[in-house]
Amino acid sequence: MAAYRKLGRTSAQRKALLRGQVTNLLYNGKIVTTEAKAKEVQKIAEGIIALAVKEKDNFETVKVTAKVARKDKDGKRVKEVVDGKKVTVYDEVEKEIKKDLPSRNHARRQMMKVLYSVTEVPTANAGKKRNTKEVDLVAKLFDEVAPKYVDRKGGYTRIVKIGLRKGDAAMEVLLELV
């Protein structure tokens, strides 16, 4: 017996399907799929969430000074004439940033191996590239999802049976984060 379900697909198709479903589960909080797919997705998602919970607080805050372009009231860069050339004016700003420790950085890379990048599109601009923004799903896992499950020792997802699908009578389930 195999260690995983083949789901009637080639290995590349199966990996892509599972990556997509895990990404959607962690982004939306729930997905509706067949029972066999849900059990496979559950294994992967549980591992990723466990990794996020383990490495949640594994960073240090560092103060950094950065050069930032000065902007006017319209949001355009302020330019100054120096030696006959227009030059952008910069201000020095102190920022506090999170610096990942090596184990958290490794965990981040392991998660990024599985998760696809997510682009959020406003409903008003559907189908257009303007005002879209890239969602950092790994940061969401560390900052929002992991703190919910700190006291929990596994069992981060739940499978609820919905019923048979009309077309092929496959058992449909709701896979959700607890």
- Of the candidates 79, 100, 121, which is a domain's last residue? 100
Residues 138 and 171 occupy one common structural domain = yes
pLDDT tens readout for residues 33-92: 999 999 999 999 999 999 999 999 999 999 999 999 999 888 889 999 888 899 999 999
Task: Note whether 162 and 115 are same-domain residues.
Answer: yes
Same structural domain, 93 and 162: no
Q: Give dist(CA 15, CA 19) in Å, integer.
A: 6
* CB-CB contact of 157 with 175 (8 Å): yes
Question: 3 lies in a domain?
Answer: no
Q: How many CB atoms lie within 10 A of CB 155?
A: 9
Q: What pLDDT score does 116 carry?
A: 97
- The answer as to whether 111 is a domain residue is yes
> Other CB atoms closer than 10 Å to residue 149's CB: what's the count?
18
pLDDT tens sequence across 87-110: 999 999 999 999 999 999 999 999
DSSP designation for 71: B
Claim to verify: residue 125 and residue 163 sit in the same structural domain: yes
Predicted TM-score (pTM) above 0.95: no
164 and 123 co-located in one domain: yes
Q: Please say whether the dihedral angle defined by the alpha carbons of residues 55, 57, 61 and 66, taken in this order, is positive or negative.
A: positive
Boundaries of domain holding 49? 11-58+101-177
Query: Is the domain of 91 the same as that of 173?
Result: no
d(CA 41, CA 7): 12
Q: Are residues 88 and 107 in the same domain?
A: no
Please check whether residue 142 lies inside any domain of the structure.
Answer: yes
Are residues 18 and 31 both part of a single domain?
yes
Q: What is the tally of structural domains in the chain?
A: 2
Mean pLDDT is lowest, of 31-40, 98-107, 115-124, 156-165, for 115-124
- Residues facing residue 164 across a β-bridge: 171
